[in-house]
Amino acid sequence: NAGVMQNPRHLVRRRGQEARLRCSPVKGHSHVYWYRQLPEEGLKFMVYLQKENIIDESGMPKERFSAEFPKEGPSILRIQQVVRGDSAAYFCASSPLEVGGLFGYTFGSGTRLTVV
């Protein structure tokens, strides 16, 4: 399967724990985007990364959330000290270059985070 791989598919955390969401982009894609989908809301942009660089994190909460895309390995979205409001589906998407015009994203199947 050459698609975007996200794991885990489902993640349950207690309040105050850390959540780590992993995303392996399509082979050859060097641009990764994270989106969050809350119940009753649309997909919201969180962060855009290239290898070893955060390009735009304007959609990511300033506290408790961080993202990285190291030279080797998957992109990681990390949520520290999770709260119930963090419960959502988190989607990763990748593209072969900066998306514009005709190019669209390839999305993964998402990680569904439940905070109890």
Binding site for another protein (CB under 8 A): 4, 31, 33, 35, 40-45, 48, 55-56, 59, 91, 93, 95, 98-110
**φ and ψ of 86, to 5 deg:** -80, -10
Query: Of 19 and 108, which CB lies nearer to another protein in the complex structure?
Result: 108
Cβ proximity of 106 and 6 under 8 Å: no
Q: How far from chain centre, in Å, is Cα 69?
A: 10
Query: Of 35 and 69, which CB lies nearer to another protein in the complex structure?
Result: 35
Which of 71, 85, 92 is CA-nearest to residue 20? 92
Residue 5 beta carbon to another protein: minimum distance, rounded to whole angstroms: 11
Which of 67, 47, 69 is CA-nearest to residue 58? 47
Residue 43 beta carbon to another protein: minimum distance, rounded to whole angstroms: 4
Residue 16 beta carbon to another protein: minimum distance, rounded to whole angstroms: 27
Query: Of 7 and 106, which CB lies nearer to another protein in the complex structure?
Result: 106
Residue type at position 70? P
